[in-house]
Amino acid sequence: MENKSAIVETRPGAPRRKVLALLATAVLLPRAHAAAPRPPLLLVVGDSLSAGYGLETGKGWVDLLRQRLHAHHPRWTVVNASISGDTTAGGLARLPALLERDRPQVVIIELGGNDALRGLSLEQTADNLSQMVALCKKAGAQVLLVGMQIPPNYGPTYTARFAAVFPAVAKAQHVALVPFLLAGVVAHPDWFQADNIHPTAQAQPVMLDTVWPHLQPLLHAAGKGRR
């Protein structure tokens, strides 16, 4: 007597259907895995104040920010793309590649101080910052612009015009602003390194506390946008 189960298994097309089903499963699973959302990312594009110049590794305000996010917003990743000595022109030149590589939900832009120290055109500084903000917004990122001020020995006119660049750009581009990164530091001369420009490790938690209230709403807004 013929084995009916064997006949079913050897019917034309049956093995082929099984193979195709297995192949389809093998193809769909990797695609489903690849479609999983990436953890939200915060990108910091700054100069030596954010790069932690003269500090031990892990002591800068961006490092402290990473620790705070790990405690309060553990899904977030922080990428610090700050370079000591960088200008707004340098930041603008490298920003497109950073946005393409990291695809951040939030970008902190902390640049401009070196423009002023080198006496560069304030109009160009403003234009560079505006272009950076526009690129971030086009990439779908929330932006926090960090304001800076320079010592009065550069002359009251230039000093005032430089300080006004940041609120003007933030207002025109409709983005959040930290008015002055060193607001809680400048009153403490002993919180600066020997060059009287770069804050010591003691000042870094204060700098983070200056940034944090302006950053939190962006984190929440970015998180809602990913749901």
Six token digits for residue 3: 């084995």
Catalytic pick among 33, 174, 190, 195: 195
Place of tokens 């660049």: 165
Per the annotation, the verdict on 214 as an active-site residue is no
Per the annotation, the verdict on 121 as an active-site residue is no
Q: Are 129 and 145 in contact (CB under 8 A)?
A: yes
54 Cα distance to chain centroid: 22
Per the annotation, the verdict on 198 as an active-site residue is yes
Six token digits for residue 43: 């990108």
- The b/e string for 113-151 (b: 16+ C-beta within 10 A; e otherwise) is bbbbeeebebeebbbbbbbbbebbeebebbbbbbbbbbe
Catalytic pick among 47, 48, 86, 102: 48
| DSSP assignment string, 13-77 | THHHHHHHHHHHHHHHHHHHHHTSPPPPEEEEEE-HHHHTTTS-TT-SHHHHHHHHHHHH-TT-E
Catalytic pick among 73, 188, 198, 214: 198
Place of tokens 């960088």: 86
Six token digits for residue 94: 């490298």
Enumerate the active-site residues. 48, 195, 198
